[in-house]
């Protein structure tokens, strides 16, 4: 019996499995991100990013991410005696995660900074957003929306005066309470409706004038919203049809009761929470407004202009978020293949696997470079005409291309782990979560065709082709494949009128700008590999098809030092 017991026990000995990737500083271990930040914000004090990288890369934060996704938000429409509550209950780990995000200023603080780091506030925040995404992207939905709506909210100076301090605060407060009683505030957006989706001009929600008060022109809203993400935010910017046309409105969850200092729930009825492919820790909902009180932001009929301003910021975050997810998937793949043995050597030592991993590293570094470049344009666009054009041009380009590459990237990274990557449980289960999360950023805030159409609007500016030529000029002469594309692109931009070719243009602008950025921030071997594969055609139709002459060692060492 003793011999049999020992034999059975021996069959369950676990070996040749990778340990969980945890307690890693996500910033100091990410050379491509450090180099991108250094290129665009050379004077930036990076101590805050180092601190965030250590905190969010900890095993404790990973456990919070697992719990927040395992225990999905729960909707409670009524209390036990039948009163409407329209409340969403979250797991405590959700609150722990979003508290960290706000404490590190990933929401609205770039708009209010006045310290020495203000000149690079958007770059610093972008890098932090990418780092946080590596651990848990779902909770960043209200963080991103708070970031996006803040500039637009200034269209109502009275509301801005009351809410700006709370929106900039870093002391998260999860309570559903009157704005004046909370230590920090978050905001969301409600734009799309079931019959229109991205075509917001088809919205049917009606706004009827209801006088005015200290917050300006007041209206009553009746209608619905098909995707109303993060419904427990303190307020929302929504679109509705006013007499003067589609208009932007400020819609608080809790209304001040005149003369009492108390609050009352606004008539926002949460119908259900969406059962989504991924993004499980975040509550996305369908809502109805039943004479809900809202205050106009900007002029009647200017709602589309307002949403475009907000959409620009959230589209930046889509590119940042996908870049962060790419980085997380790559890190998991590298970590696993450095430990797993197959056919007599570590997986990362197998020539085919090295090609796959190096190709993924190249894609991740290029995505990081483009996303941080776009963030840097927001730091400078108000004072530099070139940066203003690049912000307008690169927003749809980065959102289209980086997000479009995400799902294929995640699938290939998952394959590096084999069956261990496909399961949901344990530390390696995050790879499956990444795969389910990847399509979101490509769809949210306008899918690929919407981005291509937005690019067409951007290139119709008279100065766009010249600005793109200037952007690519520093890399001219560095590689023949880039020279060919850099010569042709401005002409294509000037001549672009055909919608059917807009996706190809977005792709090529993205690739050319990525190459030019890598010329400045990466070793020559990385730049050369990118140009030869993505621009020169020395590449196949899947990851792992780089040419044999590529310097795999440099790519892999930059991605995640052993």
Residues of the chain with CATH 1.20.140.10: 305-559
Distance of CA 384 to the CA centre of its chain: 25
More confident residue, 237 or 10: 237
Give residue-wise pLDDT tens across range 2-33: 566 665 667 788 888 888 899 999 999 999 99
Give residue-wise pLDDT tens across range 68-126: 999 999 999 999 999 999 999 999 999 999 999 999 999 988 888 888 889 999 999 99
| Range 186-302 classified under CATH 3.30.70.260 | no
pLDDT for 462 beyond 80 = no
- What are φ and ψ of residue 250, in 5° steps? -95, 120
Give residue-wise pLDDT tens across range 547-560: 989 999 999 999 99
Task: Kindly report each contact of residues 510-513 with a partner whose C-beta sits within 8 Å and lies 24 or more positions away, as own/partner.
Answer: 510/370, 510/397, 510/398, 510/400, 510/401, 510/402, 511/401, 511/485, 511/535, 512/472, 512/482, 512/485, 512/486, 513/370, 513/373, 513/394, 513/397, 513/471, 513/472
Mean pLDDT of all residues in 303-315: 87
pLDDT of residue 271: 96
H or E stretch covering 187 = strand 187-190
pLDDT for 450 beyond 70 = yes
Give residue-wise pLDDT tens across range 162-172: 999 999 999 99
pLDDT of residue 260: 64
pLDDT band at 157 (very low <50, low <70, confident <90, very high): very high
Place of tokens 């991924």: 278
pLDDT of residue 55: 98
pLDDT for 35 beyond 70 = yes
d(CA 278, CA 558): 30
Proportion of the chain above pLDDT 90, given as a percent? 82
pLDDT of residue 461: 80
d(CA 321, CA 136): 10
Mean pLDDT of all residues in 507-519: 98
d(CA 550, CA 416): 20
Mean pLDDT (the chain) is 93
Give residue-wise pLDDT tens across range 421-446: 998 876 556 899 999 999 999 999 88
Place of tokens 């200037």: 470
pLDDT for 1 beyond 60 = no
Give residue-wise pLDDT tens across range 192-227: 899 888 888 889 999 999 999 999 999 999 999 999
Give residue-wise pLDDT tens across range 171-190: 999 999 999 999 999 999 99
- Helix spans in 463-562 (H): 464-472, 480-495, 502-521, 524-530, 552-559
pLDDT of residue 9: 65
- Determine the topology of domain 305-559 in CATH: Butyryl-CoA Dehydrogenase, subunit A; domain 3 (1.20.140)
Residues of the chain with CATH 2.40.110.20: 186-302
pLDDT of residue 6: 60
């Amino acid at each position: 019996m003793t011999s049999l017991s020992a034999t059975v026990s021996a069959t369950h000995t676990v070996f040749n499995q990778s340990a969980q990737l945890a307690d890693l500083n996500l910033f100091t271990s990410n050379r491509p991100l450090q180099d991108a930040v250094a290129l665009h914000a050379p004077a930036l004090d990076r101590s805050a990013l180092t601190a965030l990288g250590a905190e969010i890369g900890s095993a404790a934060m990973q456990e919070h991410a697992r719990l927040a996704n395992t225990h999905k938000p729960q909707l409670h429409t009524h209390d036990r005696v039948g009163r409407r509550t329209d409340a969403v209950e979250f797991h405590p780990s959700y609150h722990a995660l979003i508290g960290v995000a706000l404490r590190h200023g990933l929401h609205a603080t770039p708009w209010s900074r006045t310290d020495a780091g203000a000149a690079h506030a958007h770059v610093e925040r972008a890098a932090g957003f990418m780092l946080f995404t590596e651990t848990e992207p779902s909770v960043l939905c209200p963080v991103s929306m708070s970031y996006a709506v803040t500039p637009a909210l200034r269209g109502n100076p009275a509301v801005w005066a009351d809410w700006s301090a709370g929106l900039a605060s870093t002391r998260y407060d999860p309570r559903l309470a009157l704005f004046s009683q909370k230590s920090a505030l978050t905001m969301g957006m409600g734009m799309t409706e079931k019959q229109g989706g991205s075509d917001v001009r088809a919205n049917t929600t009606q706004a009827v004038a209801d006088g005015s008060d200290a917050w300006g022109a007041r209206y009553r809203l009746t209608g619905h919203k098909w995707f109303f993400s993060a419904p427990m935010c303190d307020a929302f910017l929504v679109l509705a049809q006013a007499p003067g046309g589609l208009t932007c409105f400020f819609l608080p969850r809790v209304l001040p009761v005149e003369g009492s200092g108390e609050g009352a729930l606004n008539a926002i009825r949460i119908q259900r929470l969406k059962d989504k492919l991924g993004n499980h820790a975040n509550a996305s909902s369908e809502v109805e407004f039943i004479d809900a009180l809202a205050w106009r932001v900007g002029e009647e009929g200017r709602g589309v202009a307002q949403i475009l301003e907000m959409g620009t910021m959230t589209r930046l975050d889509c590119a940042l978020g996908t870049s962060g997810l790419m980085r997380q998937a790559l890190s998991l793949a590298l970590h696993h293949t450095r430990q797993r043995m197959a056919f007599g050597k570590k997986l990362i030592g197998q020539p085919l696997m090295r090609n796959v991993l190096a190709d993924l590293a190249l894609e991740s570094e290029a995505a990081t470079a483009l996303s941080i470049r776009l963030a840097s344009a927001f730091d400078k666009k108000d004072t530099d005409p070139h940066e203003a054009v690049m912000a307008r041009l690169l927003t749809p380009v980065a959102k289209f291309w980086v997000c479009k590459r995400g799902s294929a990237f995640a699938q290939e990274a998952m394959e590096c782990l084999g069956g261990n990557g496909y399961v949901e449980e344990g530390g390696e289960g995050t790879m499956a979560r990444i795969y389910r999360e990847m399509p979101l950023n490509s769809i949210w805030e306008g899918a690929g065709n919407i981005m291509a159409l937005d690019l067409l609007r951007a290139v119709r500016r008279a100065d766009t082709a010249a600005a793109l030529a200037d952007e690519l000029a520093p890399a001219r002469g560095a590689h023949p494949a880039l020279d060919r594309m850099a010569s042709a692109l401005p002409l294509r931009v000037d001549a672009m009128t055909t919608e059917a070719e807009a996706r190809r243009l977005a792709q090529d602008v993205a690739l050319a700008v990525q190459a030019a950025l890598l010329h400045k921030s990466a070793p020559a071997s990385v730049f050369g590999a990118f140009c030869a594969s993505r621009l020169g055609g020395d590449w196949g139709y899947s990851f792992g098809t780089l040419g044999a002459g590529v310097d795999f060692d440099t790519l892999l060492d930059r991605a995640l030092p052993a």
